[in-house]
């Protein structure tokens, strides 16, 4: 599981910082999460292949989270894309995007498949044999979702040494891989778990931006490996958080502590502060394992 931060600052693009967008690579998928202005430039800087992106998840319809999407869709067209693109986002996103395409007479030569969201309850919005993606209803000024990405547990793998120790012929190895027990010539039954190895632990990632402090999400993200949670303000400006429906670094750390997550990544910083290290210092007062997102930063989770 690999996370590339394309942008992680609040509100407006600046010469050195970009609004929210990130790429999650998980189980051979490359998911784009939010698409603020400048996303496609950041994709190029990080040398991420556009053609690998087939699913885009938009948390809400504030400009710093989706104004880069029309341009990216247009660029896909100019690059000759023919694979369909799936876009998951709040109700209204299809109208917004298709209106721009209509007015510019620039319809795509590939299928755009919109999955509009309106439920205020968590729901699975994508699933295949390797991964599921569910919504995390958040509390912001407009309808907003976070997203929970979870690997499915892989199949058990053949323990060749164990099989050979029982004198099991190679012709039975596929049956073992398929989960079957083996009956030896002397009549003994060897359980499959004795002939296979546990699969790697399935990884999980939760994206929560933008939102006010919302303890209701704790059961949804309990024990996730990595939590990205917005931290727009420091505690010294905590009075601004409820007014704008954002969170402080301490509040993000409190969510991480309650949910007993493996690692907390902070982002969506207000640009009023001189250093993002202040966010980490504040969060560390509540939760130990805190990392800071920054534009261009890559996290590899093994």
Catalytic residues: 64
65 belongs to an annotated ligand binding site = yes
The reply, when asked if residue 64 is annotated as ligand binding, is yes
Calculate the CA 85 to chain-centre distance. 17
Measured CA angle at 34 (ends 290, 74), to 5 deg: 150
Structure tokens at 158: 């053949």
Q: Do residues 172 and 150 lie in contact, with contact meaning Cβ atoms separated by under 8 Å?
A: no
| 186 among annotated binding-site residues | no
Report the b/e string of 194-207 with b at 16+ CB within 10 A.
ebbeeeeeebbbbb
In 3D space, the residue among 134, 140, 118 whose CA is nearest the CA of residue 211 turns out to be 140
What are 275's two structure tokens?
Answer: 């250093």
Does 86 appear as a known binding residue? no
Query: 223 a known binding residue?
Result: no
- On whether the CB atoms of residues 182 and 209 are closer than 8 A, the answer is no
246 is in an annotated binding site: no
* Residues in binding site: 60, 62, 64-65, 140, 210, 268
* Residues in binding site for Zn(2+): 60, 62, 64-65, 140, 210, 268
């Amino acid at each position: 599981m690999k996370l590339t931060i394309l942008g992680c600052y609040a509100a407006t693009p600046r010469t050195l910082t970009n609004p929210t967008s990130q790429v999650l690579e998980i189980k051979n998928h490359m998911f784009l999460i939010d698409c603020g202005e400048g996303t496609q430039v950041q994709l190029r800087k990080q040398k991420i292949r556009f053609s690998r992106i087939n699913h885009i998840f938009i948390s809400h319809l504030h400009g710093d989270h989706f104004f880069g999407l029309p341009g990216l869709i247009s660029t896909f067209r100019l690059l000759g894309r023919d694979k369909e693109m799936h876009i998951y986002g709040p109700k209204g996103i299809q109208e917004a995007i298709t209106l721009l395409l209509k007015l510019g007479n620039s319809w795509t030569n590939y299928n755009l498949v919109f999955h509009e969201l309106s439920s205020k309850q968590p729901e699975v919005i994508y699933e295949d044999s390797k991964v599921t993606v569910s919504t995390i209803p958040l509390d912001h000024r407009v309808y907003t979702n976070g997203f929970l990405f979870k690997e499915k547990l892989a199949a058990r793998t053949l323990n060749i040494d164990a099989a050979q120790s029982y004198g099991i012929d190679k012709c039975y190895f596929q049956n073992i891989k398929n989960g079957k027990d083996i009956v030896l010539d002397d009549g003994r039954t060897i359980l499959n778990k004795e002939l296979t190895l546990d699969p790697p632990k399935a990884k999980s990632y939760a994206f929560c931006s933008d939102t006010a402090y919302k303890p209701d999400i704790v059961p949804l993200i309990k024990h996730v490996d990595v939590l990205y949670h917005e931290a727009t303000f420091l505690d010294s400006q905590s009075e601004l958080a409820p007014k704008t429906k954002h969170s402080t670094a301490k509040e993000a750390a409190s969510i991480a502590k309650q949910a007993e997550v493996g690692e907390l990544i902070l982002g969506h910083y207000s640009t009023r502060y001189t250093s993002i290290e202040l966010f980490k210092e504040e969060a560390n007062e509540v939760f130990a394992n805190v990392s800071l997102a920054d534009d261009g930063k890559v996290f590899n989770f093994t």
